């Protein structure tokens, strides 16, 4: 059975930045494989395209440019705000404004968003609203662990049941 629309696919993979030798982002090795329903929008389309037609035991190694993954880095998503908006009763809570902290925020329309503290100045803070993987080229290596038909309930729920998926039955 080969990987195609509506098959449940399980893969072990390692994700590095840029090339197979780049900075390690994540890996399923030593844990459960990643299981997903193929072709239903759960995964990055370019990731799925590279797995098309593979079968159990097949190895893969491919790169995905940032633009086809989490998008290019957007300079306009780096926003400067006054430090005082973080004050609570006239004081900024200890440890709140440290570079790398991810802060849950709301815009004027009440939309929730996450901004990472990118820079802390004397009275201003720069928040980065880019996806953490924006601007990063991805490189995947791994192998196909399983391919099977999706159960009707899985297609209905839009997720995999059992190994590597949801355990709610
Ligand atoms: Zn379910």
Q: Where are the domains of the chain?
A: 7-70+134-157, 75-128
How many A from CA of 169 to the centre of ligand 1? 7
How many A from CA of 38 to the centre of ligand 1? 16
How many A from CA of 35 to the centre of ligand 1? 13
User: In order along the chain (169 residues), what is the average pLDDT of each group of 10 residues?
Assistant: 96 97 96 95 95 98 97 95 92 94 88 92 95 95 97 93 75
Task: Give just the sign of the alpha carbon dihedral 144, 148, 149, 151.
Answer: negative
How many A from CA of 73 to the centre of ligand 1? 35
pLDDT at 163: 73
Quick count: other Cβ atoms within 10 Å of Cβ 145?
Answer: 19
How many A from CA of 163 to the centre of ligand 1? 12
How many A from CA of 44 to the centre of ligand 1? 21
Distance CA 65, CA 26 (A): 17
pLDDT at 169: 53
How many A from CA of 167 to the centre of ligand 1? 8
**HEC per residue, the chain:** CECCCCEEEEEEEEEEECCCCCCEEEECCCCCCEEEECCCCCCCHHHHHHHCCCECCCEEEEEECHHHCCCCCCHHHEEEEEHHHHCECCECCCCCCCCCCEEEEECCCCCEEEEEEEEECCCEEEEECCCCCCCCCEEEEEEEEEEEECCHHHHHHCCCECCCCECCC
How many A from CA of 144 to the centre of ligand 1? 23
For 75-128, CATH number? 2.40.10.330
How many A from CA of 153 to the centre of ligand 1? 7
pLDDT at 162: 84
Distance CA 59, CA 61 (A): 7
How many A from CA of 57 to the centre of ligand 1? 27
pTM: 0.81
For 7-70+134-157, CATH number? 3.10.50.40
């Amino acid at each position: 059975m080969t990987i195609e629309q509506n098959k449940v696919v399980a893969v072990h993979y390692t994700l590095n930045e840029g090339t197979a030798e780049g900075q390690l982002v994540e890996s399923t090795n030593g844990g459960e494989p990643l299981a997903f329903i193929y072709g239903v929008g759960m995964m990055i389309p370019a990731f799925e395209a590279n797995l098309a037609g593979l079968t159990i035991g097949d190895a893969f190694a491919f790169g995905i440019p940032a633009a086809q993954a989490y998008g290019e880095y957007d300079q306009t998503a780096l926003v400067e705000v006054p430090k005082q908006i973080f004050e609570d009763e006239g004081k900024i809570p200890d440890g709140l404004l440290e570079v790398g902290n991810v802060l849950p925020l709301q815009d004027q329309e009440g939309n929730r968003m996450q901004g990472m503290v990118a820079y802390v100045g004397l009275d201003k803070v720069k928040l980065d609203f880019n996806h953490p993987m924006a601007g990063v080229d991805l490189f995947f290596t791994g192998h196909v662990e399983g391919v099977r038909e999706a159960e009707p309930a899985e297609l209905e729920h839009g997720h995999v049941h059992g190994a590597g998926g949801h355990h709610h039955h």
